[in-house]
Amino acid sequence: MTDLLDTHDGASDDGSDTGAGGLFAEPEGYYPPTPPPTFVTHNLLPPSSLAITVRLVGKSPLWGHLLWNASRICANYIQTHADDLVRNRTILEFGAGAGLPSLLCAALGAAAVVVTDYPDPDLLENLEYNRTHAITKDASSDVNDKPAAEASSGAEESVDVSTIASRIACAGYRWGADAEPLLAMLPPEKKSMGGYDTLILSDLIFNHTQHEALLQSIRLTLAKPHGVALVFFTPHRPWLYDADMNFFTLVRDTGDMEVTQVLEHKMEKAMFDVDRGDENVRRMVYGYRITWKDGAASE
Q: Is 112 annotated as a binding residue?
A: no
The percentage of the chain sitting over the pLDDT mark of 70, rounded to a whole number, equals 77
Confidence of residue 140 (pLDDT cuts 50, 70, 90): very low
Q: Higher-confidence residue: 236 or 294? A: 236
Which of 115-119, 211-215, 266-270 has the least mean pLDDT? 266-270
Which residues lie below 8 Å from residue 167, measured CB to CB, with a gap of 6+? Answer: 106, 110, 111, 112, 113
Q: Is 109 annotated as a binding residue?
A: no
Q: Is 175 annotated as a binding-site member?
A: yes
Among 53-57, 237-241, 268-272, which stretch is predicted with the lowest mean pLDDT?
268-272
Q: φ and ψ at 193, to 5 degrees?
A: -70, -25
292 labelled ligand-binding: no
Q: What is the pLDDT of residue 269?
A: 87
**Among 5, 89, 82, 85, residue whose Cα is nearest residue 44:** 82
SS3 labels along the chain: CHHHHCCCCCECCCCCECCCCCCCCCCCCCCCCCCCCEEEEEECCCCCCEEEEEEECCCCCCCCCCCCHHHHHHHHHHHHCHHHHCCCCEEEEECCCCCHHHHHHHHCCCCEEEEEECCCHHHHHHHHHHHHHCEEECCCCCCCCCCCEECCCCCCCEECHHHHHHCEEEEECCCCCCCHHHHCCCCHHHHHHCCECEEEEECCCCCHHHHHHHHHHHHHHECCCCCEEEEEECCCCHHHHHHHHHHHHHHHHCCCEEEEEEEEEECCCCCCCCCCCCHHHHCEEEEEEEEECCCHHHC
Q: Looking at the DSSP assignment, which residues form a beta bridge with residue 241? A: none
CA distances to 38, 53, 63, 87 from 4, in Å: 20, 26, 9, 37
Predicted confidence at residue 43, as pLDDT, reads 92
Q: What mean pLDDT value characterizes the chain?
A: 83
The yes-or-no verdict on residue 144 having pLDDT over 70 is: no
pLDDT value of position 158: 52
Quick one: pLDDT band at residue 10, thresholds 50, 70, 90? very low
Higher pLDDT, 81 or 297: 81
More confident residue, 146 or 88: 88
Q: What are the C-alpha distances in Å from 88 to residues 111, 153, 183, 205, 260?
A: 4, 15, 17, 28, 24
pLDDT score of 228 more than 80: yes
Query: Of the ranges 63-72, 124-133, 194-203, 253-262, which one carries the lowest mean pLDDT score?
Result: 63-72
Q: Is 96 annotated as a binding residue?
A: yes
The whole-number pLDDT of residue 13 equals 38
90: left (phi over 0), alpha (psi -120 to 50) or beta: beta
Query: How much is the pLDDT for 141?
Result: 38
Q: Which domains does the chain have, with CATH numbers?
A: 41-298 (3.40.50.150)
Confidence of residue 295 (pLDDT cuts 50, 70, 90): low
CB-based contact 214:94 (threshold 8 Å): yes
Q: What is the CA radius of gyration of the chain?
A: 20
Find out whether 19 is annotated in a ligand binding site: no
Q: How confident is the model at residue 239 (pLDDT cuts 50, 70, 90)?
A: very high
pLDDT at 61: 54
Whether the pLDDT of residue 1 is over 60: the answer is no
User: What is the C-alpha to C-alpha distance for residues 30 and 4, in angstroms, rounded to an integer?
Assistant: 21
Q: Tell me, what's the pLDDT at 67? A: 87
Residue 163: what pLDDT?
83
Q: Which residues of 57-75 are buried (b: 16+ CB within 10 A; e: fewer)?
A: beebeebbbbbbbbbbbbb
Q: 63 labelled as ligand-binding?
A: no
pLDDT > 90: what percent of the chain?
Answer: 65
At residue 33 the predicted structure's pLDDT band, cuts being 50, 70 and 90, is: low
Looking at residue 65, its pLDDT comes to 65
Question: Contact 153/45 with Cβ under 8 angstroms?
Answer: yes
